[in-house]
Amino acid sequence: MSRSLLSLTFALLICASISFFGENFIASNFAYYYDILISIGVNIILATSLNLVNGYTGQFSLGHAGFMAIGAYASASWSNHLDPVIFGITGGSGNPIATNAAMFVSMFFAGILAAIAGFAVGVPSLRLKGDYLAIVTLGFGEIIRVAILNTDFLGASRGLSVAGTYTNLFWTFGSVVLCAYVVLSLVHSTYGRGFLTVRDDEVAAEAMGINTTKYKVVAFVVASFFAGVAGALYAHFKAFITPEGFNFFRSVDVVVIVILGGMGSTIGVAVAAVLLTILPEALRALAHTQFVPQAYQGLLENRLILYSLLLIVLMLTRPQGLFGDGTAFKKWFGRSRVN
Amino acid sequence: MDKLIEMLQQLVNGVSLGSIYALIALGYTMVYGVLRFINFAHGDIYMLGAYAGFLLAPIFAHTFKFGEFDTFTPQNTLFILSGAGLIMILSMAICAAIGVLIERIAYRPLRERPRLNVLITAIGVSLFLQNITQYRLGADPKAFPQLIPVHVVEGLGNLTILTSQLAIIIATIILLIILRFVVMKTKIGLAMRALSLNPTACSIMGVNNDVVISFTFALGSALAAAAGILVSMDSPSINPLMGNLPGIKAFVAAVLGGIGNIPGAALGGLIIGILETFVVAIGFPQWRDGIAFAVLIVILLFKPTGILGRVEREKV
Amino acid sequence: MDSLLQLNNCTIRFGGLTAVSNFSMEITKGELVGLIGPNGAGKTTVFNMVTGVYQPTEGEVLLAGERLNGLKPYAITGKGIARTFQNIRLFSSLTVFDNVRASFNLRLKHGPIHALTRGRAFLNEENDIEKRTLELLKIFNLDRLREVMCKSLPYGDQRRLEIVRALATQPKLLLLDEPAAGMTPTEKSNLMKLIEFVRETFDISVLLVEHDMRVVMGICKRIYVLDHGVKIAEGPPEEIRRNPKVIEAYLGEEPP
């Protein structure tokens, strides 16, 4: 096994250990923070995967939530209908081996389905330039949402209950590790430089023999896969999903994280995900302290007003986000090379 | 005969709906024409237009006796129309100013930057407008005051057309005529057209690009505001998020007609309106919103330049 | 002498405008050919036709006998034609090193899956690419600048880098689009030596589109002259210099 894969396995084992020994302790005593932790994990996966498309490849996708929705509903349906059959799990509980195997399969199925959708959407759409691509991806995201809304089998507007809250720290952060590994390994290779050329200058990239559409589709499919995985994690955490939870605003949420993190840096985007997951909670807590006059409490709680101002101000003053293209990180961690 | 009446009925409904989309679509297409930029926040100007009417109406309610008339009569028609017209014009003026302000503050500083940046800013502006309205005026739907009496137009037999629908269609026609005049026969309209073809040449020839762009935003915003007022006369429930769906459908309409092409936007709006009405009429109401997205995808995949659009070649 | 590039009666029309009309050209292996003409003559159009940016309305483009009509630009580069751009199009967010390295994507044997598994074969190929990139950079004296962002390079170095980047795709034919634009006389002399050096060292053909007559006459073995999309002359520099049609076309511009 190559050295890189070995490192990956090692990291996953660490996640497993933390989960195995600490899960119940954290979940019971720090329930509120446990929730935030899982949310952070989900957002990191969404943001780092979208960063591959929006950041490294320079395409503007506004439909990420749509693929998350596909993953969520796919894994939910799988668990609801097939877990009792395959794993002998009833009502979402069973022995640990069965539930974890069920979760793995469910997540994998979610990712694959989302990836297939990503391919189906990507191939025709990625020929389009900037603004058009944004609108088409937004359109696809909405179509997916509307389709789910009109599908009785998936609970339509009533929502869907998910049997089995299998999501735990291992699956969440294991997926984070895997997602980061995939994105970073892809980008930091000669092949990965191809993504960046597509971002910088498509005409020049084509002239250097790079099939720009193929690279865009690859990025899109990989990103969609992980959006699906994130959806599966989300579904098996909340135990109840509705189409509204995967609307345009959710896509915008992820886009804001990617922009804040600086579109060329995986680490930057991950940090931004942490910050922006904690921010609304922190603001909510702050609003209820005595520092904030009554009149402004509502404003603080209204995340979207602040988000929108953040977007505008960020674009006007620091469009490269907090961390730009990650050169700051590179200086700290030393030049990251293929070997 | 009944089938014919039925079809005619739906056609009228479709044209009425399509007129609203057309008015909004014009703003998208004009801004894209001069700036090559999709103003994501445009749909929310439509919403602000409706809210402007909502806030203005009470001020003039007494003078123009809003809501006090039950039907149009030959005696009161002029009076009613002038009242409604005043509200509409005021709303258009306010939104024109807002549009110019937004362009000045949020978009102009980014004109030299990559277009992705300003697209994102536009999303920010859109969210901001929606949420600040929600914050200050409440997220719950408000009842738009009755500016004109809404009833079935007399003398059309089995055809049920509401006065509000008639108002929409007639007002749209008037606005389109005015727009055509401005674009084709005035100096600034000429500047707009020239700007959409070659901005550099324009500034060399002494055109103040900034002024023309501001004017374009003002024009587009005014039309969107008009749409907001007109639609609220027909369907009097307004809410801060009401600009989202119509906004995106109007954008689809603009793309359908050929983005950057003014008659195209009007045409596209009508087509989308009629399509949407027919989809509901033939029994698929749950897909009424989806049809616009489906059209969008089909258009972008097969004829991205739209029905009347132009191809733009990148110079290598 | 094998024929490498052949343009047979190529015509390009854009709507009602005929940009290039019935143009034929042949370049043999290892030849250095020039394409000149007054402004707007259609030189860049011919260029773009060869590289697949435009498709000829009539006629065909052949590379070593193989038809290139209908192929996308990246596929044509795959067949062995590389180019530089009139207004330098480097990959602005990449370093000098990565600009060249990115061009090795074309011949990459171990793709995305291997980038994930990072096995022996993948690592070997990456090492190999790194070595070859450094070698290329060294030849052109850019290796010490390899970590520099290409945007920060002086103009002349940027042009050189563009050529190196094109060479990384292992072309049989290199197309240079006005490489001397904006250069000082000294830089132009160096460029001339560089182009000849490239042709010899890498054993490739070069098609040079250029305005500067001294450069073109100085290094090209044969020259094609375009005016208003039509070929008005073809031959060695001495003939072209004396050709009355060429002189007339350039009347009002710099004499050849």
Q: Is some CB atom of chain C closer than 8 A to the CB atom of B116?
A: no
Angle at B242 between CA B236 and CA B243, to 5 degrees: 125
Q: List chains touching C (3+ CB pairs under 8 A).
A: A, B
- In tens, the pLDDT along C41-90 reads 888 899 999 999 899 999 999 999 899 998 999 999 999 999 999 889 99
Coil vs helix vs strand at B108: helix
**Confidence bin at C98 (pLDDT 50/70/90):** very high
CA C138 to chain centre: 21
pLDDT value of residue C77: 94
Q: Is some CB atom of chain B closer than 8 A to the CB atom of C85?
A: yes
Tell me which chain B residue has its CA closest to the CA of residue C85: B316
Q: At what angle do helices A169-187 and A3-29 cross, to 10 degrees?
A: 150
pLDDT value of residue A338: 34
pLDDT value of residue B105: 93
Of A338 and C65, more confident:
C65
Taking CA atoms, A193 is separated from A52, A188, A215, B60, C145, in Å, by: 12, 7, 10, 64, 18
Residue A273 lies in a domain: no
Q: From chain C, which residues contact A within 8 Å (Cβ)?
A: 51, 53, 72-75, 77-78, 82-83, 85, 89-94, 98, 101-106, 108, 110-112, 115-120, 122-123, 125-127, 129-130, 165-166, 168-169
Give me the number of domains chain A comprises: 1
Which residues, numbered 287 to 316 in chain B, qualify as contacts with chain C under a Cβ-Cβ cut-off of 8 Å? Answer: 316
- In tens, the pLDDT along B164-205 reads 999 999 999 999 999 999 999 998 898 888 888 887 888 888
Domain extent at residue A47: 3-247
Tell me which chain C residue has its CA closest to the CA of residue B314: C53
Contact flag A315-B314 (C-beta cutoff 8 Å): no
**Confidence bin at A153 (pLDDT 50/70/90):** confident
Residue A40 lies in a domain: yes
Residue range(s) of every CATH 3.40.50.300 domain in chain C:
1-80+171-256
Q: Is some CB atom of chain B closer than 8 A to the CB atom of C84?
A: no
Taking CA atoms, B123 is separated from B52, B116, B129, in Å, by: 22, 11, 10
Q: List chains touching B (3+ CB pairs under 8 A).
A: A, C
pLDDT value of residue B287: 81
Encoded tokens for B145:
């005051």
CATH code at A66?
A: 1.10.3470
Encoded tokens for B43:
């749909």
Tell me which chain B residue has its CA closest to the CA of residue C14: B313
C88 to chain A: which residues are within 8 Å by CB?
none
Query: Residue A185: which of C51, C118, C125 has the nearest Cβ?
Result: C118
Question: Which stretch of A88-92, A94-98, A120-124 has the lowest confidence by average pLDDT?
Answer: A88-92
Residue A102 lies in a domain: yes
Tell me which chain C residue has its CA closest to the CA of residue A1: C119
| Contact yes or no for B57/B253 (Cβ under 8 A) | no
Q: Which of B200, B25, B248, B213 is nearest to B110 (CA)?
A: B213
Residue A196 lies in a domain: yes
Say if residue A293's pLDDT is above 80. Answer: no
pLDDT value of residue A40: 95
Say if residue A336's pLDDT is above 70. Answer: no
- In tens, the pLDDT along A188-242 reads 999 999 999 999 999 999 999 999 999 999 999 999 999 999 999 999 999 899 9
Mean pLDDT of the C172-180 span = 93
Residue A169 lies in a domain: yes
Q: List chains touching A (3+ CB pairs under 8 A).
A: B, C
| Contact yes or no for C46/C233 (Cβ under 8 A) | no
CATH entry, C1-80+171-256, from 3.40.50.1820, 3.40.50.300, 3.40.630.10, 3.30.565.10:
3.40.50.300
- In tens, the pLDDT along A155-195 reads 888 888 888 788 888 899 999 999 999 999 999 999 999 99
Encoded tokens for C44:
């860049």
> In the block, which residue shows the tokens 């749950």?
B286
**Complex-level ipTM:** 0.89
Angle at B110 between CA B223 and CA C88, to 5 degrees: 125
pLDDT value of residue A337: 39
B316 to chain C: which residues are within 8 Å by CB?
44, 48, 53, 85
Q: How far is B86 from B97, CA to CA, in rounded Å?
A: 17
Residue A45 lies in a domain: yes
Q: How far is B163 from A53, CA to CA, in rounded Å?
A: 50
Mean pLDDT of the C243-247 span = 86
Residue spans of chain B under pLDDT 50: 313
Residue A331 lies in a domain: no
Q: Which of B269, B282, B63, B313 is nearest to B168 (CA)?
A: B269
- In tens, the pLDDT along C200-233 reads 999 999 999 988 888 999 999 999 999 888 999 9
